[in-house]
Amino acid sequence: MRVAALYDIHGNLPALDAVLDEVEQAGVDAIVVGGDLAWSPLPSATVARLLALGDRCRYLVGNADRAAVTDFDRDHAGHGAHDATPLERAQRDFLAGLPPRFVLDVDGLGPTLFCHGSPHSDTQRMTTATPDERLRRILAGVEPPVVVCGHTHRQFDRRLDAYRVVNAGSVGLPFEGRRGAFWALLGPEVEMRRTDYDLNEAFVWLRAAGMPRGVSRRLKVSMLDPADPDEVAEYFEGVALEEES
């Protein structure tokens, strides 16, 4: 099986459309959407676009998707339909039913565990700055030798002992230090992909769609004026260590 791994779309529909154009040319057997697909700014349209692809897609839940479900339930509690809610009821139910992990047999890689953050949690961070000792603790007891993750929005391909850990990067909100939409093509090799699209036009469109407080700034430092990826990784690693202490 040859797989396109699309993680952390984060409601960035222009980026998703650009990546899907390249995925169509790559001859994949499956598309793994690895969580955090529905978080602002265009969650409903993003979910609808993905569902239109049919059975080719396999989905994981991400922490932002769980938050979207929680927000939906809060906003609709006892009030019926709510015009301000970005998701439809069926989309909320779809997100609520997504699994946290699954295993696929990928050409050339063998049994491959797909998860959002780590094999244990969709909020646990694995980064380019994660020390080997901490990474060993995270991988302890994991059976598949290959783990594909996301959540920290930066591509990497790390080998440690008998394991290979691949971060597919982020389609919609990358922290790569350069512009583009990032994803991975798996089988028989691991290919880190970058897709160009018109980010200035996309940013205008996404801002016009309306975004929660703080989201516009996050998109800007990701899309238009990318932050230093090493600084971001060190920050995430520091947060992870605080959470696990």
48-66 tens-digit pLDDT = 999 999 999 999 999 999 9
pLDDT band at 82 (very low <50, low <70, confident <90, very high): very low
pLDDT band at 224 (very low <50, low <70, confident <90, very high): confident
Instruction: Judge whether 60 and 217 are in contact, CB under 8 Å.
Output: no
Give residue-wise pLDDT tens across range 149-202.
Answer: 999 999 999 999 999 999 999 999 999 999 999 999 999 999 999 999 988 888
pLDDT at 89: 94
Q: Which residues contact 141 (CB under 8 A, 6 or more apart)?
A: none
* Of 1-5, 78-82, 161-165, the least confident: 78-82
Give residue-wise pLDDT tens across range 145-155.
Answer: 999 999 999 99
Domain ranges of the chain: 3-244
pLDDT band at 242 (very low <50, low <70, confident <90, very high): confident
Instruction: Judge whether 144 and 164 are in contact, CB under 8 Å.
Output: no
Structure tokens at 226: 């990318």
Instruction: Judge whether 160 and 134 are in contact, CB under 8 Å.
Output: no
For 103, 123, 151, 173, the CA distances from 145, given in Å and listed in that order, are 11, 21, 20, 28
pLDDT band at 210 (very low <50, low <70, confident <90, very high): low
Instruction: Judge whether 152 and 165 are in contact, CB under 8 Å.
Output: no
Structure tokens at 1: 């099986």
Architecture of domain 3-244: 4-Layer Sandwich (3.60)
